[in-house]
């Protein structure tokens, strides 16, 4: 079987590459990230039986040009870059690595929460400019947290928040009351969360329903003292509206880990003092790099064993 590794992130780990080539000796690797266009991806995938993909866009045009492909194993969790309908139509299987990076993202979410509420990002910036200004913010303990999504990452965030005794309100598509009791949360409407939350954190996939879920009206409905965090996908927050809200003091601050365009070039947004930001590193701890990779290899092994 010929396996393509499209995402250069996978081959950062020699352990993963060794394991993959042990099971599949015929591996083509995009280690130097040279696939820049759709044409490049098609040429790379053309003769392949399976592929490990990161966040590269794989659409109908690519799939129809690569008829030998029978599985895409996703190195990561979000599926917004894959045309799932076409994959189904063409009988291309999906290897999904759900949960493999949830602790990693949840820890970054907690870091962003603490940074925002205790002013760490602002204090760091000022001190590096040799300005000694003391503003220790508020404590996270006892605050009301609004989570959008109740999947693997949101549930891990809830577990990590346990020692902080927060009130946790959750907006989700489906509402399982037994799970709500288990996690000690309350399902709530978007409106209630906007009105009551001290920190909102987004853990939804990017879909047509979640695109621009947070825009001007939502920021106006939030408390002026509230913060918003997005570790999910750019596009769920309207970045133009966010800039206006952050500049105008409609909300107190934001934590962004995912951006509309990545790498972002929106320096007007990045330079805002009440923004704390990371370059989409949430799912990339040493531990999750291995967990995502081994999950991909297991998908390929199971698929080609049949
Ligand atoms: N920054 C990073 O490095 C990473 C970012 N991510 C992003 O985070 C997202 C969430 O990850 P994860 O928790 O693992 O995913 P899960 O699939 O475990 O959870 C997704 C949750 O979103 C809910 N949901 C889906 N669509 C809607 C909707 N339209 N309205 C309300 N709720 C909805 C689901 O509801 P239901 O219970 O009904 O299915 C589910 O609770 C990923 O899709 C990805 O984009 C993921 C990993 C790493
Ligand atoms: O798993 C994901 O979806 C990520 O964004 C990180 O790789």
Question: 77 CA distance to ligand 2 centroid (A)?
Answer: 5
Paired residues of 78 in beta bridges:
none
Q: Does domain 102-277 have CATH number 3.40.50.720?
A: yes
**Cα 99 to Cα 16: distance, rounded to the nearest angstrom:** 18
- Ligand 1 surroundings by CB, under 6 angstroms: 77-78, 98, 101-102, 105, 149-154, 172-174, 203-207, 209-210, 231-233, 257-258, 280, 282-283
- Residue 150: enclosing H or E segment and its boundaries? none
Give the residue from 246, 148, 144 showing the smallest Cα distance to 195: 144
CATH number assigned to the domain covering 2-100+285-304 = 3.40.50.720
**Which atom of ligand 2 is found nearest the CA of 54?**
7
Q: Look up 262 and say whether it is catalytic.
A: yes
Model pTM score? 0.97
Per-residue confidence in pLDDT tens, the chain, 306 aa? 999 999 999 999 999 999 999 999 999 999 999 999 999 999 999 999 999 999 999 999 999 999 999 999 999 999 999 999 999 999 999 999 999 999 999 999 999 999 999 999 999 999 999 999 999 999 999 999 999 999 999 999 999 999 999 999 999 999 999 999 999 999 999 999 999 999 999 999 999 999 999 999 999 999 999 999 999 999 999 999 999 999 999 999 999 999 999 999 999 999 999 999 999 999 999 999 999 999 999 999 999 996
Q: Which of 139, 262, 268, 287 is catalytic?
A: 262
> Relative to the alpha carbon of 104, which ligand is closest?
1
In the chain, residues under CATH classification 3.40.50.720 are 2-100+285-304, 102-277
Look at strands 93-95 and 144-148 and give their pairing. unpaired
């Amino acid at each position: 079987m010929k396996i393509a590794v499209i995402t250069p992130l996978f081959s950062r780990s020699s352990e993963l590459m060794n394991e993959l080539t042990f099971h599949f000796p015929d591996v083509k690797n995009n280690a130097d990230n040279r696939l820049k266009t759709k044409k490049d991806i098609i040429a790379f995938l053309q003769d392949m039986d399976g592929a490990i993909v990161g966040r590269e866009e794989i659409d109908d045009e690519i799939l129809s040009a690569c008829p030998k492909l029978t599985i895409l194993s996703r190195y990561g969790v979000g599926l917004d870059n894959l045309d799932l309908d076409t994959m189904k139509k063409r009988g291309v299987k999906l290897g999904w690595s759900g949960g493999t990076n949830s602790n990693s993202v949840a820890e970054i979410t907690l870091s962003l929460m603490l940074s925002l509420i205790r002013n760490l990002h602002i204090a760091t910036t000022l001190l590096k400019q040799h300005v000694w200004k003391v503003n220790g913010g508020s404590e996270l303990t006892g605050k009301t947290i609004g989570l959008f999504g109740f999947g693997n990452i949101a549930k891990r965030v809830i577990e990590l928040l346990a020692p902080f005794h927060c009130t946790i309100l959750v907006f989700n598509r489906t509402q399982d009351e037994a799970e709500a009791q288990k996690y000690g949360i309350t399902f709530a409407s978007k409106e209630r969360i906007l009105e009551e939350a001290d920190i909102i954190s987004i853990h939804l996939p990017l879909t047509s329903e979640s695109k621009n879920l947070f825009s001007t009206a939502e920021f106006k409905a939030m408390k002026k003292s509230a913060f918003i965090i997005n570790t999910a996908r750019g596009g769920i927050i309207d970045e133009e509206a966010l800039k206006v809200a952050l500049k105008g003091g409609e909300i107190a601050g934001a934590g962004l880990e995912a951006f509309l365009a990545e790498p972002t070039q929106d320096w007007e947004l990045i330079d805002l003092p009440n923004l704390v930001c990371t370059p989409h590193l949430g799912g990339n701890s040493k531990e999750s790099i291995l967990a995502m990779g081994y999950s991909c290899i297991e998908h390929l092994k199971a698929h080609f064993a049949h």
